[in-house]
């Protein structure tokens, strides 16, 4: 073997004599692609029972936890709200909301309880970047977003639908404290989960020519700085 020098930090070029590596054959999974092509959110009011069994939920959360994570910091966590906990959390949120909004009309007095009771189960996705880590905080926040998407995709693969929302209970510091969210943590979303009861219309998806470009060496730099 041609050992790279101990002091050489750049990737060494492969020895000229080494043959090109053969690709590992990974079979394409057409049903998975078809499911991904039709995946979309279901409106919260259309999410119904039955929610996931404990075994299904555990499998889903395992899949959600399989995301890129720079530095293996695990900069996210999940809070599951299901069953009677939905009502108990909703009532605490309503009480807080009433204190914050003394003029709240009576018709809205139980709005957060109704909100929490809509879906059979809600996963609160919490971003918890470590500001002292060498890994940039941005990378850590993106990993939390990836965990939310992985959960959404896992739910879809298992026949559930989700809707990812981030309303007052996930934004207000006093409300997130009721959830058990600690200082330095931030709610990335309430991922509401259940069976879809209606075939919801898909929304328009971005045309690829609006979001994809090929980098070329001729393109002008967008930087104002002169090198
Ligand atoms: C972080 C985050 C927060 C969101 N919060 C809201 C929200 O509060 N209200 C809302 O109507 N949609 C919200 N959305 C959008 C919904 O999830 C929407 O249903 C979704 O964009 C539909 O896309 P899909 O069909 O590809 O899943 C949010 C999306 C994300 C990623």
Q: What confidence score (pLDDT) does residue 13 get?
A: 61
Q: What confidence score (pLDDT) does residue 220 get?
A: 81
Q: What confidence score (pLDDT) does residue 172 get?
A: 98
Please check the confidence at residue 5 and state whether its pLDDT lies above 90.
no
Among 76, 125, 127, 165, the mutation site with the greatest number of ligand 1 atoms within 8 A of its Cβ is: 165
Q: What confidence score (pLDDT) does residue 42 get?
A: 96
32: enclosing H helix or E strand: helix 30-38
pLDDT band at 225 (very low <50, low <70, confident <90, very high): low
Smallest CA separation from ligand 1 atom 12, residue: 165
Model confidence pLDDT, tens digit, residues 82-122: 999 999 999 999 999 999 999 999 999 999 999 999 999 99
Is the peptide bond prior to 50 cis by the omega test (within 30 degrees of 0)?
yes
Annotated binding-site members: 39-41, 66, 70, 164-166
Please check the confidence at residue 226 and state whether its pLDDT lies above 90.
no
Smallest CA separation from ligand 1 atom 28, residue: 165
CA of 181 to the centre of ligand 1 (A): 21
Q: pTM score, two decimals? A: 0.90
Smallest CA separation from ligand 1 atom 27, residue: 41
Could you give the ipTM of this predicted complex? 0.96
pLDDT band at 4 (very low <50, low <70, confident <90, very high): very low
The CA distance from 128 to 137, in Å, is 10
Using CB distances shorter than 6 Å, the residues near ligand 1 are 40-41, 163-167, 189, 203
**N residues, the chain:** 227
Model confidence pLDDT, tens digit, residues 142-191: 999 999 999 999 999 999 999 999 999 999 999 999 999 999 999 999 99
Residue 153 tokens read as 């995709």
Q: What confidence score (pLDDT) does residue 16 get?
A: 62
DSSP codes, 159-227? T-EEEEE--HHHH-HHHHHHHTPPTT-EEEEEEEEEEE-S-PPPPPPPPHHHH-----TTSPP---S--
Q: What confidence score (pLDDT) does residue 222 get?
A: 87
DSSP codes, 57-108? HHHHHHHHT-S--GGG---EEEEEEETHHHHHHHHHHHHHHHHH-TT--GGG
Q: What confidence score (pLDDT) does residue 221 get?
A: 85
- Answer for the pair 35, 58: CB distance below 8 angstroms, yes or no: no
Question: Under 8 Å CB-to-CB from 94, ≥6 apart: which residues?
Answer: 109, 110, 111, 112, 113
Model confidence pLDDT, tens digit, residues 13-47: 655 667 789 999 999 999 999 999 999 999 999 99
Please check the confidence at residue 53 and state whether its pLDDT lies above 50.
yes
Q: Which atom of ligand 1 is nearest to the CA of 167?
A: 8
137: enclosing H helix or E strand: helix 137-157
pLDDT band at 11 (very low <50, low <70, confident <90, very high): low
pLDDT band at 2 (very low <50, low <70, confident <90, very high): very low
The CA distance from 179 to 123, in Å, is 11
Residue 219 tokens read as 């393109």
Model confidence pLDDT, tens digit, residues 185-213: 999 999 999 999 999 899 999 999 999 99
Task: Return the biggest CA–CA distance within the chain.
Answer: 79
């Amino acid at each position: 073997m041609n050992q790279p020098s101990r002091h050489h930090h750049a990737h060494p070029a492969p020895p000229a004599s080494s043959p090109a590596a053969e690709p590992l054959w990974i079979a394409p999974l057409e049903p998975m692609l078809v499911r991904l092509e039709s995946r979309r959110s279901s409106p919260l009011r259309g999410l119904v029972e039955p929610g996931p069994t404990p075994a299904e939920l555990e499998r889903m959360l395992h899949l959600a936890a399989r995301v890129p994570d720079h530095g293996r910091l695990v900069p996210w966590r999940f809070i599951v709200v299901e069953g009677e906990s939905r009502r108990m959390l909703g009532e605490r949120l309503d009480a807080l909301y009433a204190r914050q909004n003394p003029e709240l009309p009576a018709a809205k007095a139980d709005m957060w309880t109704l909100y929490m009771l809509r879906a059979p189960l809600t996963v609160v996705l919490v971003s918890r970047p470590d500001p002292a880590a060498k890994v940039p905080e941005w990378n850590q926040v993106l990993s939390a977003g990836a965990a939310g998407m992985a959960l959404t995709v896992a739910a879809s693969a298992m026949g559930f639908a989700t809707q990812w929302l981030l309303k007052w209970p996930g934004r207000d510091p006093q409300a997130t404290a009721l959830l058990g969210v600690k200082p330095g943590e931030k709610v990335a979303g309430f991922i509401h989960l259940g069976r879809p009861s209606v075939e919801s219309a898909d929304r328009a998806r971005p045309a690829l020519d609006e979001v994809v470009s090929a980098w070329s060496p001729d393109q002008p730099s967008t930087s104002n700085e002169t090198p």
